[in-house]
Amino acid sequence: MIRYSFEDHLFHAKPTFVCEGMGYDDPKPEGKWTNAWMAFQRLIPLLPEPIQTQARGVDRWRMYNAPEYISPSDRCVEIDGHKPTKYEWKRRRDNFLLQRELGNQTI
C-alpha cells in the first residue's frame, strides 16, 4: 500500500502482508518519497530477502489505484504480479468502506 500523506506531502509505502521474517505485530518497514513509484523502490531494500527478489521484478505499470484509498493519489502494487479484476477491486473497495463505517482501523 502506498499512501499519500497531506502532513508531510510524501508518499509512504508499507507492506500489508505477513511473511517469513516479518510478523503481524512487527513494525512494518516504510519507504518515503515524493512520488509513489520511488517510495516503493525505497521500501524494497527494507523487506526480507525473498520478498526483495520478487519486488525487484515488479514494473511501474503494475501499480494501480488502491481500492482502500483515502486520497485519490493512493496506490497499490502486488508483489506477486496479480492485478485485481474490476469485480475484485469493487469488492475490496466496498469491504474497506464498510470497515471504516464500522469504525475499524484503516490500513
CB neighbourhood size of 59 (10 A): 9
Each residue's pLDDT expressed in tens, for the chain with a length of 107 residues: 999 999 999 999 999 887 777 777 778 899 999 999 999 999 999 998 888 999 999 988 889 999 999 999 999 998 888 889 999 999 999 999 999 999 886 55
In angstroms, the CA 32 to CA 40 distance is 8
Secondary structure letter of residue 1 according to DSSP: -
- The strand order across the sheet containing 31-33 reads 31-33, 10-13, 2-5, 75-76, 64-65
For 14, 67, 91, the CA distances from 64, given in Å and listed in that order, are: 15, 9, 15
Q: Give the pLDDT confidence score for residue 106 in this predicted structure.
A: 57
Report the candidate in 100, 15, 102 with the shortest Cα–Cα distance to residue 55: 15
| Domain regions of the chain by residue span | 2-101
In angstroms, the CA 8 to CA 86 distance is 32
Q: Give the pLDDT confidence score for residue 7 in this predicted structure.
A: 95
Q: Give the pLDDT confidence score for residue 107 in this predicted structure.
A: 56
